[in-house]
Amino acid sequence: MNGTEKLVILKVGGSVLTGAKAFRRVALYLKRRSELIPGEKLVVVVSAQKLLTDTLERRARRILRRPSVRALDLLWSTGELRSVALLALHLEALGTCSVGLNVHETGLQLPYAPGADSVHPALMKSQLESALSEHAVVVVPGFLATRLGGAIVSVGRGGSDLSAVLLAIGLAASRCELVKDVPGYFAEDPRENAQAAHLPWLSFDEALRMANRGCDLVQPRALLAAAARNLPLVVRSMDEGAPVSVISLVNSGSEEVRDEPVVAEV
């Protein structure tokens, strides 16, 4: 990338990728965004389609009650790769300069056990940087990394959040946005209380406390990794007029996020 371009990591979760129409909607959103912000490069981290990971696990356990971790990770990876391919195809159909990468091309390596308290990623970024030099949008699988020997490994439930954070850190991205089916955090569950107050900003400690109380909006390991590197996270939906929530050490940038000209088309 040249000095006039900025890199944004944009994670799109399974709660958003609910079916064929959803993939097209995301592609339209990305197309509009790349047109409105031509100096922006996007690495789009995608999860498997909603409920597919659970479906694949049930299929594995019908074959073998206790499948090996390696085999289960390999089966799970087909969900993320399917999302990469489908979104890449929709972007190609819209004429957006984009490419989809597989888990090995993405270059995220986890040499340590995925259940460890700390995260020690390595990013072999040559292929990813090459793709970014030629395309405005690069689509990569979330939830997955590789071992040093090349084996595919999952990084835990909600792991696409962690993948996005690790890529943002490794690529020194200008921001990391997590696209959800809700416009960020609320003081109460908005599904139970329609009048729940939206939280435009919260600290990492507050987000972790909410996670401990059962709010699974952002994976705790992703929050810990972002906090360790002072990487602010923007939690948003694709709705143009909706508010966003910023998670950071200091409440200094939540209003700046709203200035980004992002438009979603349905």
Architecture of the domain defined by 6-257: 3-Layer(aba) Sandwich (3.40)
Nearest residue to 216 (alpha-carbon basis) of 206, 204, 224, 208:
208
- Mean pLDDT within 59-66: 96
Question: What per-residue confidence (pLDDT) applies to 256?
Answer: 47
pLDDT of 253 reads 52
pLDDT digits (tens, 9 = 90+) for 181-207: 999 999 988 888 888 999 999 999 999
Is residue 56 scored above 60 in pLDDT? yes
Give the residue among 3, 244, 45 at the shortest CA–CA distance from 143: 45
In angstroms, rounded to a whole number, what is the distance separating the alpha carbons of residues 27 and 10? 13
The label of the residue with tokens 């799970």 reads 76
Convert the pLDDT of each residue in 193-246 to its tens digit: 888 999 999 999 999 999 999 998 999 999 999 999 999 999 999 987 899 999
Provide the 10 A C-beta neighbour count for residue 82: 16
User: Taking the complete model, does pTM exceed 0.85, yes or no?
Assistant: yes
Closest CA to 247 of 210, 204, 208: 204
Question: Residue 28 and residue 264: Cα distance in Å, rounded?
Answer: 7
CA 260 to chain centre: 19
Supply 189's token pair. Answer: 């569950």
Position 262 scores a pLDDT of 36
